[in-house]
A and B are shown apart, each in its own frame.
Chain A
Amino acid sequence: MQIDFSYVIWIPAVLLVSFLVVGLFGDKLKPMLSGAIATLAILLGMVLSYTAAFQYFLSKGLVDGTYQTFIPQNWEWLTFYDTLVIKLGVMIDPISIMMLVVVTTISSMVHIYSFGYMKGEKGFERFYAYLSLFSFSMIGLVIATNIFQMYIFWELVGVSSFLLIGFYYTKPSAVAASKKAFIVTRFADFGFLVGILVLSYYTKTFDFQELMSPGNAAITNMTGISFMGMSVLSWALLLIFMGGAGKSAMFPLHIWLPDAMEGPTPVSALIHAATMVVAGVYLVARLFGLYVLHAPDALAIVAGVGAFTSLFAALIAVTQTDIKRVLAFSTMSQIGYMMLALGVSGYVGAEGLGFTASMFHLFTHAMFKALLFLGAGAVIHAVHSNEMGDMGGLRKYLPITHITFLIAALAISGIPPFAGFFSKDEILVAAYASNQLYFWTEWAVAGLTAFYMFRLYFNIFWGTDRDYEHKPHEAPFSMSFALIFLAIMTSIVGFIPFSQYVSPNLVPFTTHIHWNVAIPSIAIGVVGILVAAILYLKPKATADKIANAMPGLYKLSLRKFYIDEIYVWVTHSIIFNSIARPIAWFDKKVVDGSMDGMAWITNKVSDKTKGLQSGQLQQYAFVMIAGVVGLALFILYYLN
């Protein structure tokens, strides 16, 4: 039976209308009305997404044991060749539905939360216009039917992210951060675009379904063409992964994410924790069939990058003092988990556990990380600072924030029964089955995660009170509502039997908790929490002592392994001073100079020769006679 999912198009459509209305007329509306329009739009989107999800997963999606793909709309947007056409459409399959749920849920909560958080802020309506633009673009990305549509919306989420990071545009650090985010991801997208071109050149299509169709001869053909030691398919997929790595802040393209925390905190929760930054994971998942079946070498690189980033970011998170930056590095680390899980996954049945785990972790992480950020926002709202040093003892003042934050921290630390435990467990199982090194790395990162999260938690909510300018107050209802909602989600979504819904080959499979992996992973989580408790529960100098005992390592982590400095050096010393500046000079002096030089020579020559046309008859007569005589002499001489 054909199922009509054509109503899904209303989700982006409503958001686009909301963006246009609030964006164009927002300054004429009351700020609250602007916010209400945008919020209603996204709530409607949420309702439609949930409807689609229930309809798809619980009744209509599964036919003969396989999840079906529906394409209710697919319009031609730009035609290059008969088969190379950019289309805009809607694709319904398990991962796009899952992403719809994630995006609309988190976005709705952020919309509601921002009523409290952004209250009285200048540009309140602008903020909501941008949120609508972002949600629209992100949904366009997840429902893409072809890779070019994905690229189009990929760029649009990039620009929404730029606008939101730079929301406080009078603040130089925010402006710099927004530029950095845009340019770094743009550089990564350059790889993405070239990857699309390579892929489409050989396959003559952008369409996901055609690309993934089993027995696609063009794909097999691509694996046979070798270029510098890898098949062209692997090259194409690696270039595409470069785009994904940029958006998902994988090492070494991660440098924009910590700075992106300059944006308002709800934005960090929505874009830089739950949705946009996982677009890279989604991209690899979208093309997973190609990676796993035809380009295992590219997939191995995905795994390696993911594993390295998760460790690298966790090591940095341990020493950061800005609470939003701790969370940013934690996001990087968790996305590293997701990438790794994709990288170690197989395709059929239980071998596809890594893929399922990655999507599961994406889902749970979105809930608890958004919750952590919104909680951090409530804290910042209360104490007007991002620095851990300005916080302490807040559990008395912010009880709701405290409890919800604790739930999220337990979830990310992998403590059952909260959501993170289940998804992380599956990732570790998949890693264990594939590569012991990856497993032990990720196991250690789980410990680090628990440690830095509880370092954060104890520093904020325990310890001693600081001299607060005014007594910190609990967040208003709109904010605590979002916190409570997400805390409930964090507590329950772990029990969703994800492998029943999401699998690489669209055929559900069953899995269960592997206690041989779960017990050590819970243990390391508890150890991390205990260490944090010992060091930070009561104000003691032990932590500083440890830091002082290894100043080199401490500084390395605090300064984020000096990657930013390397980038600054590359952009300033190389790109600006060694390329752009010499080119500007060369253009002015050499290229332009040679043109001016030609003009100058012409001028000089004319200066020297203009005496010839003096208009004086005597001179002409003299020259003429001299010429005749000279010619006569020459002829005489020559004839002789």
Chain B
Amino acid sequence: MDKLSLLIWVPVITMIVMAFVNDSKVKWVGAIGAAVQLVQSVLLLFSFFAAREAGDTSEMLFTTDIVWYKYLNIHYATGVDGVSIALILLTSIIVFTGVFASWEIKDRTKEFFITLYMLATGVFGFFISLDLFTMFLFYELAVIPMYLLIGIWGTGPKEYSAMKLTLMLMGASAFLLVGILGIYFNSAPDGGQLTFNFIEISKIDIPASAQYFFFPLTFIGFGVLGALYPFHTWSPDGHASAPTAVSMLHAGVLMKLGGYGALRIAVMLMPEGAQHYQWIFIILATIGAVYGAFGAIWQKDLKFINAYSSVSHLAFILFAALMFNQVAFEGAVLQMISHGLITALFFALIGMIYSRTKTRNINEMGGLMKVMPVLGVAYFIAGFASLGLPGFSAFVAEMTIFVGAFQNEQMFIRVATILVISSIVITAVYVLRAAGTMLMGAIKNKDFELLPDAHWYDKVAVFVLIAVIAGMGLFPNWLATMIYDGLGPMFERFVVN
């Protein structure tokens, strides 16, 4: 068994074990499975560094290539570089903390965790795939469990939200499938074997006419998942209805599939198409960044605030992916990681607060800092991280995006960059407004005075996430360099083209 396939097998085995133990032990199995996966990801990181140290300069490491369906040249092809390793680490951290954040799930625990792990399997599979077809397959595997997770374990208008989310993402998949097939059928312009392997495809030039047609389909297809304005509306409702761990995984990881695909597949395989439509998507991403932030100001529900905040911060990723600049691309990946961690922390905290107060309306809370200092301080830390305070991950990601984007000389892009930067001021407004209303001041509701602070499992989830966010914010260079180098080979070919 190769290193990377283990990343799929561990969650699969965990699911199988879960199916055979009784309900009370399921979450322990989940925790162990997630811990094993986390250790495995860290080991993968070390062996990646060891291989690089040993002078292995191949673009993708630990590759496997098995022909799966030879008539269409579909392979089970896996491999990782600095970019995918970073995202694999992110996913394992979020799955691990997500298990502890769902410790209080009582209803059909077993089914919940199995479905959750199915989602995780899909995400891991997506990040290790080099073959567009299997990648798409894993993508679908990750999206479909969402419907069940929200529809069954959600809150509020959960059927409506689940349906809306699934329909929109399925619609996007249709675009995406056309885009991927378009890439496939143009992958051998000079005749010869067609291929789904995106590393191979990145080495050839897809005819410009095909790029003009298939780029927007692919970019929108991934963009919907990455909350591209105006296709973001599934996300506030979806998050609001989803249970805690699902929100965490969804905003933390699943939405990053969109950014990852938009950058690696849409932009990097079809640079001419990207250049051609750049202006439209830059406008949409800029609107998303500013609009999401303003939208968040007016919300009262904590989950809606965070969902709009995500729309704003995810727009940074798509924005950076359109900059044709290696540093901005690096920033896009850093932002995926950073936003993934921070938003997971937010959703975890919101879930914990909600399970105590039974409300998410900030105006009904107030003075909670006195009652639950640990959760309160953690919420403030999440808020500061989110508004880009130095020392936390978002600062690193945002500054990388801004510095990279600013190297572009076009006035249009400069103006867009400045508008995107302006959104970080608005972020401060809604973050402090929500935290202030909810945590500061006098206790509004007498019933809240006796609420418990964080339990041990809450602390595991919260402390791990804070430690990683701060770690990345304090020592960013190794990660930044790893991602930058990972983007290097493809970027060089892309500039030469």
Quick one: closest B residue to A585, CB to CB? B298
A193's contact among B298, B400, B421, B440, by CB below 8 Å, is which? B421
User: Given B164, B433, B440, B477, which contacts A166 in the complex, CB threshold below 8 Å?
Assistant: B440
A583 and B291 contacting across the interface, CB-CB below 8 Å: yes
Interface residue? B58 (CB, 8 A): no
- Considering the complex, give the chain B residue whose CB is closest to the CB of A584: B298
B362 interfacial contact with A, CB 8 Å: no
Question: Do the beta carbons of A595 and B422 come within 8 Å of each other?
Answer: no
Q: Of residues 143 to 180 in A, which have CB atoms within 8 Å of B's CB atoms?
A: 148, 151-153, 155-156, 159, 166, 169-172, 175-176, 179
Known A159-B384, A170-B370, A583-B294; contact A592-B425, beta-carbon cutoff 8 A: no
CB-based nearest A residue for B403:
A80
- Residues from chain A with a CB closer than 8 A to the CB of B440 are 166, 169-170, 172, 175
Residues on the B chain within 8 Å of A182, using CB: 428, 432
Q: In the complex the two chains form, is A79's CB within 8 Å of B480's CB?
A: yes
Q: Mark B414-439, 1 if CB is under 8 A from A, else 0.
A: 00011001101100110011001001
- Within 8 Å of chain B (Cβ to Cβ): is A78? yes
Which of A287-295, A498-506, A574-582 is the contact stretch? A574-582
A194 and B418 contact, CB distance less than 8 A:
yes
A637 at the binding interface (Cβ < 8 Å) = no
Query: Distance (Å) between the CB of B303 and the closest chain A CB?
Result: 15
| A576 and B391 contact, Cβ closer than 8 Å, known pairs A84-B403, A197-B406 | no
Binds B, one of A89-97, A183-191, A216-224, A412-420: A183-191
Chain A's closest residue to B480 (CB) is A78
Min CB gap B454→A, angstroms: 14
Q: A156-B389, A170-B370 are in contact. Are A183 and B421 (CB under 8 A)?
A: no
Q: How many residues of A contact B (CB 8 A)?
A: 47
Q: Mark A379-399, 1 if CB is under 8 A from B, else 0.
A: 000000000000000000000
**CA A575 – CA B430 in complex, angstroms?**
12
- Is B181's CB within 8 Å of the partner chain A? no
| Pair A201/B425 contact, Cβ less than 8 Å | no
One digit per residue, 1 when the CB lies within 8 angstroms of any chain A CB and 0 when it does not, for chain B 342-385 equals 00000000000000000000000001011000000000000010
Q: Which residues of B contact A198 (CB under 8 A)?
A: 406
Contacts of A592 in B (CB 8 A): 233, 237
Which residues in chain B, 272-299, are within 8 Å of chain A measured between CB atoms? 291, 294-295, 297-299
**Which of A80, A179, A201 is the most central at the interface, judged by chain B CB atoms within 10 Å of its CB?**
A80
Instruction: List A contacts of B436 (CB < 8 A).
Output: 175-176, 179
Instruction: Name the CB-closest residue of B to A158.
Output: B389
**Complex Cα–Cα for A254 and B440 (A):** 25
Assess whether A583 is in contact with B298, with CB atoms less than 8 Å apart.
yes
Q: Does B98 contact A (CB under 8 A)?
A: no
- Complex CA distance for A226 and B22, rounded to whole angstroms: 73
Asked if A190 and B425 make an inter-chain contact with CB atoms under 8 angstroms apart, the answer reads yes
Residues of chain A within 8 A (CB-CB) of B429 are 183, 575
Q: B442 to A183, Cβ gap below 8 A?
A: no
Bound Cα distance A200, B405 (Å): 13
Chain A: minimal CB distance from B162 (Å): 13
Chain A residues near B417: list those with CB within 8 A.
197
A587, B369: Cβ atoms closer than 8 Å:
no
Known: A77-B476, A187-B425. A155 touches B403 (CB 8 A): no
A622 contacts which chain B residues (CB < 8 A)?
A: none
> Are B389 and A159 neighbours in the complex by a CB distance under 8 Å?
yes
Q: Which of under 10, 10 to 19, 20 to 34, or 35 or more describes the interface residues of B?
A: 35 or more
Q: How far is A174 from B448 in the complex, measured between Cα atoms in Å? A: 22
Expressed in whole angstroms, the Cα–Cα distance for A503 and B164 within the complex equals 66
State in angstroms the CA–CA spacing of A584 and B296 once bound together: 8
Known interface pairs A159-B384, A584-B295. Does A169 touch B369 (Cβ–Cβ under 8 Å)?
A: yes
CB neighbours (8 Å) of B168 from chain A are 595
Complex alpha-carbon distance, A476 and B391, angstroms: 38
A175, closest chain B residue (CB): B440
Judge whether B471 is part of the interface by a CB distance below 8 angstroms.
no
Assess whether B189 is interfacial by the CB under 8 Å rule: no
A595 to B395, CA, bound (A): 34
- For B441, what are the chain A residues with a Cβ–Cβ distance below 8 Å? 169-172, 175
* Residue contact A183 to B428, C-beta cutoff 8 Å: yes
- Are B367 and A170 in contact, CB atoms less than 8 angstroms apart? yes
CA distance A186 to B426 in the complex (A): 9
Establish whether residues A599 and B421, one from each chain, have CB atoms under 8 Å apart when the complex forms: no
A591 beta carbon closer than 8 Å to chain B: yes
- Interface centre among A171, A172, A193, by most chain B C-beta atoms within 10 angstroms, is A193
Interface status of A81 (Cβ within 8 A of chain B): yes
Least CB distance from A443 to B in Å reads 38
Interface presence of A76 (CB below 8 A): yes
Residues of B within 8 A of A200 (CB): 403
Residues of B within 8 A of A187 (CB): 425
Q: How many angstroms between the C-alpha atoms of A169 and B435 in the bound complex?
A: 11
Which residue in A148, A579, A591 is a CB contact (below 8 Å) of B233? Answer: A591
Contact of A587 (CB < 8 Å), options: B295, B370, B476 = B295
Whole-angstrom CA separation of A581 from B300 in the bound complex: 12
Residue of B nearest to A227 (CB): B411
CB distance from A242 to the nearest CB of B (A): 12
User: Which residues of A sit under 8 angstroms from B93, Cβ to Cβ?
Assistant: none
Say yes or no: is B497 at the interface (Cβ < 8 Å to chain A). Answer: no
Residues of chain A lying within 8 A (CB to CB) of residue B391 = 156
Cβ A194 vs Cβ B295 within 8 A: no
CA distance A176 to B371 in the complex (A): 21
Bound CA–CA A77/B390 (angstroms): 12
**Cβ-defined contact, A581 with B403, below 8 A:** no
In the complex, which residue of chain B has the Cβ closest to the Cβ of A23?
B377
Known: A80-B403, A592-B233. A580 touches B298 (CB 8 A): yes
**How far is B425's CA from A186's CA once the two chains are assembled, in angstroms?**
6
Query: Are A80 and B369 in touch, CB under 8 angstroms?
Result: no
In the complex, chain A residues whose CB is within 8 Å of the CB of B395: 152, 155
Interface contact B297-A576, CB-CB below 8 Å: yes
Chain B residues with CB under 8 Å of A584's CB are: 294-295, 297-299
A591 and B230 form a contact (CB under 8 A): yes
Question: Which residue of chain A lies nearest to B407 when distances are taken between CB atoms in the complex?
Answer: A201
Contact of B432 among A78, A183, A197 (CB under 8 A): A183
Given A186-B428, A194-B418, A592-B233, A152–B295 Cβ distance below 8 Å?
no
Additional pairs, 5, CB under 8 Å, beyond known A575-B429, A584-B298: A153-B390, A197-B417, A584-B294, A587-B295, A592-B237
> Would you list 27 pairs from A and B whose C-beta atoms are within 8 A, ordered by A residue?
A79-B477, A80-B404, A86-B399, A148-B399, A151-B390, A166-B440, A169-B439, A170-B370, A170-B441, A172-B441, A172-B442, A175-B440, A179-B433, A182-B428, A182-B432, A186-B387, A190-B424, A194-B418, A197-B402, A197-B403, A197-B417, A201-B407, A576-B298, A580-B298, A584-B297, A584-B298, A599-B167
Q: Ordered nearest first, which 7 A-B pairs have the shortest CB separation?
A: A584-B298, A580-B297, A152-B390, A592-B233, A175-B440, A197-B406, A580-B298
Binding site for B on A (CB under 8 A): 76-81, 84, 86, 148, 151-153, 155-156, 159, 166, 169-172, 175-176, 179, 182-183, 186-187, 190, 193-194, 197-198, 200-201, 575-576, 579-581, 583-584, 587, 591-592, 595-596, 599
